[in-house]
Amino acid sequence: MSYATIDAILVQYDGELSAAQAHGMASGLLAVNGKFNNEKWLYELLQNTPPLSAEHKVELLGLFDDIQDVLIDDEFEFDLFLPDEEESDLLERVDGLREWCKGFLLGVGFANTATKFSQQTQEILKDVSEITKLDTDIELDDEEAENDFMELTEYLRAAVLALRDDFSAKS
């Protein structure tokens, strides 16, 4: 399933979140609670939209289930769902990264019932929050900006797994 396909489905139903935000939200929900219900995520994602077609519902639930499967696995296979590098420029990918982080924070906040976070979780959530403020005033051919982008995505991949481990240790 492609980023463009999921994004088009969300746009078609006037969803308020982009594909990156939807993936971030599901990732945050599942990092906090690996057993979070995919139907509940879908309801939160599209609660003010027309009913989904069966085909689109299968696509979106498949996205959630894929994230859940990867986060249950102890391998380091988790990846962010961002605009494709071949189909988008660095600005679009940075914007997608910011949107993913916003969705992630939304998901963590929605799934978390604790009032106190571990020090590690606090630091990660602060970092993710800071990423939502990234400046997109960059040169498209700036190799350093491209490297910075890659480092941020790698950090976020590791951060999701660290949060998953932190929250699963508490349950």
Q: Which domains does the chain have, with CATH numbers?
A: 3-170 (1.20.120.740)
**Under the phi-then-psi rule, with left for phi > 0, alpha for psi from -120 to 50, and beta for the rest, what region is 14?**
left
Report whether 133 contacts 101 (CB < 8 A).
no
Q: What is the pLDDT of residues 49-104, one digit of tens each?
A: 888 999 999 999 999 999 999 988 766 688 999 999 888 888 899 999 999 999 99
> In the structure encoding, which two tokens stand for residue 120, read together?
């590690």
- What pTM was estimated for this model as a whole? 0.92
